[in-house]
Amino acid sequence: MRIILIGYGVVGQSLTQIFTQRRAELIKNYGFHPRVVAIVDRRGAAVNPKGLNLEKTLSLKAERNTVAAHHERGHPGMSALNVIENVDAETIVEATPTNIKDGEPGLSHIKTALKTGKHVVTTNKGPLALALPVLTELANYNKAYLKFSGTVGGGTPVLDLAKRCLMGDRILSIRGILNGTTNYILTEMDGRHITFEEALNNAQKLGYAEANPSMDVDGLDAACKLVIMANWIMNKRVTLKDVSIQGIRNVTLQALKEAAKRDCTIKLIGSINEKLKVAPTEISKQDPLCVGGVLNAVTFVSEFAGEETIVGRGAGGMETASAILRDLLDIKQNLATRLMS
Ligand SMILES: NC(=O)c1ccc[n+]([C@@H]2O[C@H](COP(=O)([O-])OP(=O)(O)OC[C@H]3O[C@@H](n4cnc5c(N)ncnc54)[C@H](OP(=O)(O)O)[C@@H]3O)[C@@H](O)[C@H]2O)c1
């Protein structure tokens, strides 16, 4: 499979590390030969229709901070859109930063790829939270696959559990802890009796929270994931504006203390019932959702199987890259089935 990789940061580099480390196993176990024909970062692209040497692109990125510095294959200033339109490939992997104002640059990358009949695997929540119903239609119209396992739960197969493992059943409602950063902060506040500001500061020192923590602490990241789950799992045609969102800035030590008297704690819970909501919510410490630290947990309530909860690390470069790999293998298998029918 020829792959164009857009975005060569933590996730993009982790994916190429997996490709280099697992090459023989991927071929032997899955008949999967990933050939990365282009990589694009902010400063340009490296392109080789025969497949780039990924050890080299990794060391170039580490030493020169751009793949465009490749002395034979580098194209400084070449944009992702130019690459998507002009380089032959079956699939693009889109891993540029999330932007929930207008979804760019990821939204244009995904639209252009789908319009040119390329399959898309993305970990970028912004375009999906703003325009998933439209993107799904575009993918169907162009007979292209649009996959996004890594957008919810990092490497933990949250979307697949609901969509595949519970196939045939009807999911009635979903609730979960969808953001590791806020879960870490609330766990610290509750366990060590420190204020929100102190816990946020610790999270920033440990690299769990960004310098601008708004996406996490104001509930926006969790809301994006909720939109993706509502569309994909429950066939609701919703976008970010349909979610009622409240973050954790106003959770107090007093409120946590009161909750503890009832053997409860406060977690940032995203829920899908009649409505979509993200809000700090009191839950029992015995609830399977009540996980600590940076863990994520999601409970699906389905008509026949009842309640199932999946728990795992919700982020991380390698974890998220493993979700991309699952999506790529899935596309490969679907294409093989298409050919046979
Ligand atoms: N990291 C995680 O654990 C995780 C988990 C789940 C989902 N995600 C999502 O996955 C995506 C990637 O995350 P990340 O952690 O890898 O981010 P990152 O480390 O910031 O990397 C982003 C990459 O995108 C490139 N980029 C930015 N604008 C571009 C443009 N216009 N054209 C081409 N490339 C562009 C950057 O180029 P430069 O290198 O030149 O700056 C960089 O290589 C994000 O949407 C994130 O929300 C991440």
Closest C-alpha residue for ligand 1 atom 34? 41
Residue matched to tokens 């590791």: 180
Q: Do residues 23 and 65 both lie within one domain?
A: yes
Q: Do residues 222 and 240 both lie within one domain?
A: yes
- Nearest ligand 1 atom, CA 66: 40
At 102 the pLDDT is 96
Q: Do residues 77 and 183 both lie within one domain?
A: no
66 CA → ligand 1 middle, Å:
13
CATH number of the domain enclosing 34: 3.40.50.720
Exposed/middle/buried for 62, CB within 10 Å: 0-12, 13-18, 19+?
A: exposed
Q: Do residues 196 and 268 both lie within one domain?
A: yes
Is 225 a catalytic site residue?
Answer: yes
Sign of CA dihedral 288, 290, 294, 297: positive
Domain range for 112 is 2-155+318-340
Which residue among the candidates 61, 225, 267, 277 is catalytic per the annotation?
225
At 166 the pLDDT is 87
In the chain, which ranges are E strands?
2-6, 35-41, 44-47, 74-76, 91-94, 119-122, 146-147, 171-177, 243-245, 264-272, 276-284, 295-302, 306-313
At 326 the pLDDT is 96
- How far apart, in Å, are the Cα atoms of 60 and each of 2, 12, 23, 67, 80? 21, 14, 20, 6, 18
Tokens representing residue 297 in the block: 């947990």
Cβ of 315 below 6 Å from ligand 1: yes
Tokens representing residue 276 in the block: 């979509």
Q: Are 111 and 138 in contact (CB under 8 A)?
A: yes
**Angle CA(87)–CA(93)–CA(94) in degrees, nearest 5?**
105
Q: Do residues 187 and 84 both lie within one domain?
A: no
Q: Are 321 and 54 in contact (CB under 8 A)?
A: no
Pick from 131, 95, 97, 137: nearest CA to 114: 137
At 273 the pLDDT is 95
How many structural domains are present in the chain? 2
Q: Do residues 57 and 165 both lie within one domain?
A: no
95 by DSSP, 3-state: which? coil
Q: Do residues 81 and 132 both lie within one domain?
A: yes
DSSP annotation of 57 reads: H
In this prediction, the residues of the chain whose per-residue pLDDT falls under 50 are none
CATH number of the domain enclosing 213: 3.30.360.10
Q: Do residues 206 and 59 both lie within one domain?
A: no
Cβ of 105 below 6 Å from ligand 1: yes
Cβ of 154 below 6 Å from ligand 1: yes
At 211 the pLDDT is 86
Closest C-alpha residue for ligand 1 atom 18? 9
Q: Do residues 118 and 243 both lie within one domain?
A: no
Q: Do residues 249 and 331 both lie within one domain?
A: no
Q: Do residues 129 and 270 both lie within one domain?
A: no
Cβ of 10 below 6 Å from ligand 1: yes
Q: Do residues 12 and 84 both lie within one domain?
A: yes
Cβ of 98 below 6 Å from ligand 1: yes
Supply the pTM of this predicted model.
0.95
41 CA → ligand 1 middle, Å:
9
At 210 the pLDDT is 87
Cβ of 160 below 6 Å from ligand 1: no
